[in-house]
Structure 1
Amino acid sequence: MSLILLAPMEGLLDHSLRDALTLVGGIDRCVTEFIRVTDRLLPDRVFLRVMPELLNGSRTAAGVPVRAQLLGSEPAVLADNAARLAELGAEGVDLNFGCPAKCVNRHRGGAVLLDEPELVGEIVATVRRAVPSGVPVSAKMRLGNRDEDTMLDVARAIAEAGASELVVHGRTKLQGYKPPAYWDRIAHIRAAVPALPVVANGEVWTVDDAQRCRAESGTQALMLGRGMVADPGLALAIRGQADPMADPHAGWRRVPPLLARYWQRVALHVDARHRAGRIKQWLNLLRRRFPEAQALYERIRTVNDTREVEALLFGAAQTRPA
Structure 2
Amino acid sequence: MLAPMEGVVEHHVRDILTRIGGLDGCVTEFIRVTDQKLPYKVFYKYAQELETNSQTPNGTPVKVQLLGSKPEPMAINALELVNYGAKSIDLNFGCPAKTVNSHEGGACLLRTPDRVYNIIKAVRDAVPKNIPVSAKIRLGFEDRSSYMENASAVESAGANELTVHARSKADGYKPPAYWHYIADIKAKLKIPVIANGEIWTIDDYIRCREQSQCDDVMLGRGLLSCPDLARQIKAHLSGEDYRPLIWLEICEMLFAYYQKTTPLYDERNCGNRVKQWLMYLSRQYPQAQIFFDEVKRKSTPQDIEDCFKKALDDCK
Is 1:155 aligned to residue 155 of structure 2? no
The equivalent of 2:124 in structure 1 is: 128
The equivalent of 1:230 in structure 2 is: 225
* Cα 1:265–1:79 shift into 2, 3 Å: farther
**Contact 1:20 1:261 (C-alpha < 8 Å) held by counterparts:** no
The equivalent of 2:181 in structure 1 is: 185
Matched residue SS, 1:6: coil
Deviation of 1:278 (Å) = 1.0
Match 1:217 to one of 212, 219, 237? 212
Is 1:301 aligned to residue 284 of structure 2? no
The equivalent of 1:117 in structure 2 is: 113
* Cα 1:157–1:15 shift into 2, 3 Å: same
Q: Which has the higher contact order (CA 8 A, sep 6+)?
A: 1
**Most deviating of 141-150 and 165-174:** 141-150
Match 2:268 to one of 261, 273, 281? 273
Deviation of 1:215 (Å) = 0.3
Deviation of 1:23 (Å) = 1.3
**Contact 1:100 1:111 (C-alpha < 8 Å) held by counterparts:** yes
* Deviation readout 1:7-40 (Å, 9 max, x if unpaired): 1222222212112111110011010111000001
Deviation of 1:233 (Å) = 1.1
**Contact 1:245 1:252 (C-alpha < 8 Å) held by counterparts:** no
Q: Kindly tell me the number of residue pairs found equivalent between the two proteins.
A: 312
**Contact 1:253 1:320 (C-alpha < 8 Å) held by counterparts:** no
What is the CA–CA distance in structure 2 between the aligned matches of 1:226 and 1:73, rounded to whole Å? 26
What is the CA–CA distance in structure 1 between the aligned matches of 2:241 and 2:13, rounded to whole Å? 22
Deviation of 1:157 (Å) = 1.1
**Contact 2:262 2:271 (C-alpha < 8 Å) held by counterparts:** no
User: Which amino acid is the alignment partner of residue 212 of structure 2?
Assistant: S
What is the CA–CA distance in structure 1 between the aligned matches of 2:241 and 2:252, rounded to whole Å? 19
- Point out 4+ residue stretches in structure 1 off by more than 6 angstroms: none
Matched residue SS, 1:303: coil
What is the CA–CA distance in structure 2 between the aligned matches of 1:243 and 1:19, rounded to whole Å? 21
User: Which amino acid is the alignment partner of residue 244 of structure 2?
Assistant: M
What is the CA–CA distance in structure 1 between the aligned matches of 2:130 and 2:241, rounded to whole Å? 34
**Contact 2:54 2:63 (C-alpha < 8 Å) held by counterparts:** yes
Deviation of 1:53 (Å) = 1.2
What is the CA–CA distance in structure 1 between the aligned matches of 2:71 and 2:176, rounded to whole Å? 33
The equivalent of 1:103 in structure 2 is: 99
User: Which amino acid is the alignment partner of residue 229 of structure 1?
Assistant: L
Mind listing any 5+ residue stretches in structure 2 that lack a counterpart? none
**Contact 1:128 1:137 (C-alpha < 8 Å) held by counterparts:** yes
* Cα 1:161–1:268 shift into 2, 3 Å: farther
The equivalent of 2:248 in structure 1 is: 253
What is the CA–CA distance in structure 2 between the aligned matches of 1:55 and 1:313, rounded to whole Å? 32
What is the CA–CA distance in structure 1 between the aligned matches of 2:241 and 2:231, rounded to whole Å? 7
Deviation of 1:315 (Å) = 5.7
**Equivalent residue runs for 1:1-322 within 5 Å:** 5-193=1-189, 195-239=190-234, 240=236, 241-245=240-244, 251-313=246-308, 316=311, 319=313, 321=315
* Cα 1:279–1:124 shift into 2, 3 Å: same
What is the CA–CA distance in structure 1 between the aligned matches of 2:277 and 2:215, rounded to whole Å? 27
Could you tell me the percent identity over the aligned residues? 46
* Deviation readout 1:205-258 (Å, 9 max, x if unpaired): 000000000000000200000000000110011122444426xxxx22321221
What is the CA–CA distance in structure 1 between the aligned matches of 2:59 and 2:257, rounded to whole Å? 17
What is the CA–CA distance in structure 2 between the aligned matches of 1:305 and 1:97, rounded to whole Å? 38
**Most deviating of 307-316 and 68-77:** 307-316
Deviation of 1:296 (Å) = 1.7
User: Which amino acid is the alignment partner of residue 6 of structure 1?
Assistant: L
CA RMSD across the alignment: 1.6
Calculate the TM-score normalised by the size of structure 2.
Answer: 0.94
* Cα 1:232–1:121 shift into 2, 3 Å: same
